[in-house]
Amino acid sequence: MKAFQHFRTITQHKILVMQGCFKIGLYKQGLLHDLSKYSPTEFVVGCKYYQGMRSPNNAEREIKSYSEAWMHHKGRNKHHYEYWTDYSMDGRGIVPVPMPKKYVAEMFVDRVSASKIYLKEKYNTSMPLQYFKNGKAYYYMASKTSLELETLLIMLAERGEKATYNFIKTEFLKQP
């Protein structure tokens, strides 16, 4: 088990997300981001499956065909689109619902921060967009949420972090 390495990785990630959330005025979300990763349900799995270059939840999923840690995490953290599903009233079953903008913004910061943590010196501002595009066909995300996130990721790739964070703070979060 790699407890120290996992603790260091999730703490570095949490600090990056906190800094990003503070830049856009989401102070409470920055402070509370991913606290469930320190719970026994998530932390022990993270230590057991730690690899350093990707989420340990994927390694757990490869072994067990699902990730108990991920199931716990997504159900407690509103910045994950998987949290935002509900039963439809028209017989379609469980459907994705649009995320409030403050959680879309936190999801954006989370993806940027995760890319920095896992890619280290290979990171550039187009990497989070590429990751999104690679998985987009498999996401069960409300189309409005997907469009908002992709727009922010494109802006990051084209205009950089400072301009994108400024846009999120001064325009995106002020829109209805």
- 25 CB burial (10 A radius; 0-12, 13-18, 19+): middle
- CB-based contact 49:59 (threshold 8 Å): yes
Q: What are the pLDDT tens digits along the chain (176 aa)?
A: 899 999 999 999 999 999 999 999 999 999 999 999 999 999 999 999 999 888 999 999 999 999 999 999 999 999 999 999 999 999 999 999 999 999 999 999 999 999 999 999 999 999 999 999 999 999 999 999 999 999 999 999 999 999 999 999 999 999 98
Angle at 110 between CA 158 and CA 142, to 5 degrees: 80
Give the DSSP H/E element, type plus range, for residue 155: helix 143-159
